[in-house]
Structure 1
Amino acid sequence: MIILNLNIRGVGGGTKARYLRHVIAGEGVDFVCLQETKAKVFTEAKCFSLWGDNKVGWIHHEGENGCGSLLSMWYEEAFSYVSHVKGKGFIAVFGKHIKSNTSCAVVNVYAACNLNEKKICWKELTEDYRILFWVGVCVAILMLFIDANSLFDLPLVGKTFTWFKSNGSAKSRLDRVLVSEEWMDIWPMCKQYVQQREVSDHCAIVVKSVDKDWGPKPFRSIDVWLKEKDFGELVKGMWLSYSVQGSAFTKVKEKLKCLKGDLKMWNKDVFGNIQTSKKRILQELEDLDCQDCCDDLGDGDRLKRMELVGRLKEMEKKLDSLICQKARANWFRSGDSSTKFFHTSLRWRRLRNEVKGVEVGGIWCENPPLYARKPKASLKADLKLRRIMEFV
């Protein structure tokens, strides 16, 4: 689901309408949240003009004399409207994203500048809409609201700030998108793409899920492998078995490439999936326990059960080590790895560490094919690769 959020500071004039149509068409937007439209009344013709299509549903909140007015629009072939609720400073639209067949609530929020009014707005949202899939926000103080609802602020791509004072004397991140754990389950690669500032002192934000292929991933090892018996000898034997010609850099690169492939096969065929192995052991223990309830176990079965219990404890340690390495969370040692928030944190870390783009020749590149076509010699210079001493 692709969503556009913008504090437009008034929708009057053809320039802003053209800008909205350009972004909506270029990004394939499904839902639009506008704040500060500064309009008391909206018509269908005006909404059709802003979107550039007549298959548009919309809800307008006039605010107080046009101040704090909100407009939520959606493309009817992408989002199926069910109902909506309007409150002081927000519009909540409930419906279904047709392509993913996902029911969701899109809440467009503009909090007042008055601190007490902000607290009232966030309290009302917290009490009434605990299951939020998406929130478009223009507000300065909302950390308590985020913590109370276990929401996540998506990573920014493009800029660090979303609002700039016209004279350049101040800047801030006033606009942001918050998502729930359920949203991250459905669209795990979702990010906030900050657009160029053209028609307002606020930047438009496009929320979309983009999974780009930047080529081969770097070589990484898993700590739990080191606990496997004879793992060191296995790796040493693999490394010495590779015969590679070329410079020292080429030898290291090609050997790591071969080692990566062999370890992936070993992990799949020999080491095995830890969760699957744990389930298999638990099932065998369950069968023995059921057998023991019906009849006494023989000495062989009792020894087998003791062996399975020992293997289960070993699997638990391996699983803890694997999760701890993925999350890099110190509190895991005394925390609970089964919590929903913990596993959401794993996805959040992967999303935050994802490569958003590469600077090539002084130009920011977010298109992997363009980056891949860059000459090899030029890439080495751009990325400042250091010569590796011959040690192979």
Structure 2
Amino acid sequence: MKIISLNIRGLGLDDKDKLKLNWFKRLCNREKPNFLALQETKCQNFPEFWIEKFCGNSDYKYCCKKAKGNSGGLLMVWDPNLFVTNYIVERETFIAIKGNWKSVGEELVLINVYGPQNDEGKKQMWKDLKEVMNYDEALWMIFGDFNEVRAKWFNDFIKDCNLLDIPLGGRLYTRISDNGHKFSKLDRFIISENVLQKWPNLNAVVLDKKYTDHCPIMLQEGNIYFGPKLIKVFDEWIKHKDAQSIVEKAWSMEVKGWRHDVIFREKLKNVKMELKKWYSTSQCKLKGEIEELTKKVIDWELKAEVSNLSDIDLLAWNTDRDKLFQKEKNQTEMLKQKASLLLENWDGPRIEKALADKLEEEFSELETLEAIKSCGKNKAPGPDGFNLLFYIKFWDIIKVDLMKAITWFWNSGSISNGCNASFITLIPKAPVGVLKDLEGIRRDFFWGGSNEQKKMAWVNWNQILLLYDSGGLNISSLKNKNLALLTKWWWKFLSNKEALWIKVIKSIYGYNSGLECISPNPTNIKGLTGTTWSNIINVKHTLTKLGCDITNEFVKLIGSGTETLFWHDIWIGETVLKQAFPKLFRLESNKLAMVSDRVQWTGVEGRVQFSWQWSTLPRWRILFDLQQLENRLSVAKCSGKNVDVWVWKPCCSGIYTTKSLIEMLNSSVDTHVKPTIRNNLIPQKVGILMWRASQNKLPVRSELDRRGIDLDSVRCPMSL
């Protein structure tokens, strides 16, 4: 048995209704119901070809109640091979069909309801339903849009008729107003108690909506699959001496599939299962060892109370205590790790073919491994139970399959059904189109939901991502992490000038290759538009919109001055000197002069001496420009080192880190929320609960009412 009920809010022929019909057709094709109930069809006549459109079979039977004007209308569709009708009863607000469900051999009455808006109409609906139910002793199923929450009349009807309201999984509410301000639970499945004797495993779920303000609800027999049960792989398992052989054995097991991400997923499953088996056995052994050692230590203590212990006995006592401490520590570390699991991406110049091939190569193993190591070992790429310590420790075992999975995703841009998207975060940069979906997975996971089961979000996700000092939970968005990883390519370009790929980039795009922190970015770099390198360059514009100008954060620190162009590089001030002093630049005899060619720092006080070479001596007003230039240069600092180096200002070390940029992005958001108060002595879940309570973001009655959710009363039911 599988029944789908939906307030479809009109079955017309305009463009929106066509989209709605196509969506509902796809829903039926996916779920394959054998009984459909629609409310508010707004139809006077129902075209029979829609039956085949919905069910894929023109043999399905149906009955309908015409709409009154542009409101109302009911439709019921069923498979005659499963349900044989005896008679149909029609009332103002519902259609009741009595028949025989062949698989159980019992008479069953199915009632499709569309409740009225006014109170008098609702009273009459409950009265009519009771009259119909008094006619026969049968199995009863009532469903549809009751247009009412569980208030007095509704509760009295359920109680008087000995009915059961089946809990709905998947979502808290079945209707969301078009403006998103009001949430209601108006759609339900209500059954008689004897139905459960025939279908003991009935369950109901709210499905995702589209093109209508109501969500479809589905009643079916059997358990709903909400995804695999999470098995957490703890650090102590990975560090154990037996872990290597267990992972090697599990990874070598044969798996089915030809898509590389599927193969990687199945191998991870094998590792989980083998580790779980090993843990179940070793945990029993560990408990026994702890009990035995505890008894030994107690015996030593009792013995020491009545007599002096020899040196050998003292050594044995200390050895037993150390063993006990270590084993209890191993056990405690797993508990601590479990408790802390909260939450913590060509028209240009030609080059040699060999270099071009090198430039277009896919991600290397080394690059991916560096991305993994740059994150904390206790950080997990996703909720699949494996943290990054697993990937680092067993890299030699899993690297081949992991790289195949990453290459598959990068080439196809798709994730196979059933695969966790977590391995994507191991790629140093994620395609922008994927970030939104991944952020949605994180958001659902935080609120306890999934793709199959949605939960209400009580706090804006953007606020949750902020730093503690900005009133958030210091989680950070994947978008910011991706921007920080892209910016890291700027740092690599600036700090690794001898790298082959940098020489290739410069040979194609020129000296500064578009990095505005070196010199202003020309708008006519040939062949740059639409390339991978242009995406890296343009991260600057995205960051500027977020309030972070990285061109001012990367600063050239002058050492010897032999590696910095005097006129063309940004090394003093916020622009190049050729733009600040264009008249002097025109008089320069060597326009590619280095800083060391024009400026020397002498003496202990770092005094500046100038060495100018003019094609024509400056005169008149240009002398004023020269004086301004020398005044600026006189305050320039020299590091005293042998080389010129780039530094990242936000870090004291001067070395760029993705963490520092992420913190800048998270703190640059303008917010008036008070800083989050933290206490490391309480569990994180308790801390989050207190954080939500401080913002009135708990599901208490007053807050539910404020969000537009229908309640019979906002008063506490426990109060007098």
Which bin holds the TM-score, normalised by the shorter protein? 0.5 to 0.7
Name 2:29's counterpart in structure 1. Answer: 25
In 2, are the aligned partners of 1:20 and 1:51 still within 8 Å (CA)?
no
Name 1:136's counterpart in structure 2. Answer: 143
Name 2:169's counterpart in structure 1. Answer: 157
Name 1:6's counterpart in structure 2. Answer: 6
In the alignment, does 2:286 pair up with 1:247? yes
Q: Give 1:360 deviation, angstroms.
A: 6.0
Q: Give 1:63 deviation, angstroms.
A: 3.5
Percent identity, aligned pairs only, is 28
Q: Which one of the candidate residues 100, 104, 121 is aligned to 1:117?
A: 121
- Superposed counterparts of 1:243-392, under 5 Å: 246-248=285-287, 363=445, 364=449
Cα pair distance change 1:245/1:110, threshold 3 Å:
closer
Cα pair distance change 1:126/1:249, threshold 3 Å:
farther
Residue 248 of structure 1 aligns to a residue in which SS? Answer: helix
Structure whose alpha-carbon radius of gyration is higher: 2
Q: Give 1:21 deviation, angstroms.
A: 2.2
Cα deviation code 1:86-124 (max 9, x no counterpart): 111100011122233332011001111011111111101
Q: Which one of the candidate residues 96, 105, 112 is aligned to 1:92?
A: 96
Structure 1 segments of 4 or more deviating over 6 A? 212-215, 249-252
Cα deviation code 1:141-169 (max 9, x no counterpart): 52221112111111111001000012211
Residue 64 of structure 2 aligns to a residue in which SS? Answer: strand
Q: Which one of the candidate residues 177, 184, 200 is aligned to 2:212?
A: 200
Cα pair distance change 1:16/1:366, threshold 3 Å:
closer
Cα deviation code 1:56-105 (max 9, x no counterpart): 11111014224221111112222222221111110001112223333201
Cα deviation code 1:235-254 (max 9, x no counterpart): xxxxxxxx9952129999xx
Residue 44 of structure 2 aligns to a residue in which SS? Answer: coil
Name 1:77's counterpart in structure 2. Answer: 81
In 2, are the aligned partners of 1:245 and 1:251 still within 8 Å (CA)?
no
In the alignment, does 2:216 pair up with 1:209? no
In 2, are the aligned partners of 1:55 and 1:77 still within 8 Å (CA)?
no
Distance 1:209 1:201 in 2: 26
In 2, are the aligned partners of 1:80 and 1:97 still within 8 Å (CA)?
yes
Distance 1:133 1:249 in 2: 56
In 1, are the aligned partners of 2:203 and 2:223 still within 8 Å (CA)?
no
Q: Give 1:44 deviation, angstroms.
A: 1.7
In the alignment, does 2:49 pair up with 1:37? no
In 2, are the aligned partners of 1:39 and 1:69 still within 8 Å (CA)?
yes
Residue 53 of structure 1 aligns to a residue in which SS? Answer: coil
Distance 2:172 2:288 in 1: 37
Cα pair distance change 1:60/1:251, threshold 3 Å:
farther
Cα deviation code 1:329-362 (max 9, x no counterpart): xxxxxxxxxxxxxxxxxxxxxxxxxxxxxx8676
Q: Give 1:27 deviation, angstroms.
A: 1.8
Name 1:178's counterpart in structure 2. Answer: 190
Residue 194 of structure 2 aligns to a residue in which SS? Answer: helix
- Which residues of structure 1 form unaligned runs of 5+? 216-242, 253-358, 368-383, 385-392
In the alignment, does 2:68 pair up with 1:64? yes
Name 2:703's counterpart in structure 1. Answer: none
- Which residues of structure 2 form unaligned runs of 5+? 230-281, 292-382, 386-441, 453-683, 685-720
Name 1:280's counterpart in structure 2. Answer: none
Larger deviation: 18-27 or 117-126?
A: 18-27
Distance 2:179 2:204 in 1: 26
Letter in 1 for 2:61: G
Distance 1:148 1:250 in 2: 60
Distance 1:185 1:72 in 2: 25
Distance 1:102 1:108 in 2: 19
In 2, are the aligned partners of 1:146 and 1:152 still within 8 Å (CA)?
yes
* Greater per-residue strand proportion: 1
In the alignment, does 2:27 pair up with 1:15? no
Residue 50 of structure 1 aligns to a residue in which SS? Answer: helix
Distance 1:67 1:94 in 2: 26
Cα pair distance change 1:249/1:18, threshold 3 Å:
farther
In 2, are the aligned partners of 1:3 and 1:29 still within 8 Å (CA)?
yes
Distance 2:111 2:70 in 1: 19
Distance 2:160 2:284 in 1: 59
Distance 1:250 1:110 in 2: 65
Distance 1:95 1:162 in 2: 28
Residue 15 of structure 1 aligns to a residue in which SS? Answer: helix
Name 2:352's counterpart in structure 1. Answer: none
Residue 54 of structure 2 aligns to a residue in which SS? Answer: helix
Cα deviation code 1:33-67 (max 9, x no counterpart): 10000111113223322322201111110142242
Distance 2:75 2:209 in 1: 20
Q: Structure with the greater relative contact order (CA < 8 A, sep ≥ 6): 1 or 2?
A: 1
In 1, are the aligned partners of 2:41 and 2:67 still within 8 Å (CA)?
no
Name 2:55's counterpart in structure 1. Answer: 51
Cα pair distance change 1:29/1:245, threshold 3 Å:
closer
Letter in 2 for 1:202: H
Distance 1:53 1:250 in 2: 65
CA RMSD in angstroms comes to 2.9
Cα pair distance change 1:169/1:123, threshold 3 Å:
same
In the alignment, does 2:158 pair up with 1:146? yes
Letter in 1 for 2:34: D
In 2, are the aligned partners of 1:40 and 1:66 still within 8 Å (CA)?
no
Letter in 2 for 1:199: Y
Letter in 1 for 2:3: I
Cα pair distance change 1:126/1:156, threshold 3 Å:
same
Cα pair distance change 1:212/1:20, threshold 3 Å:
closer
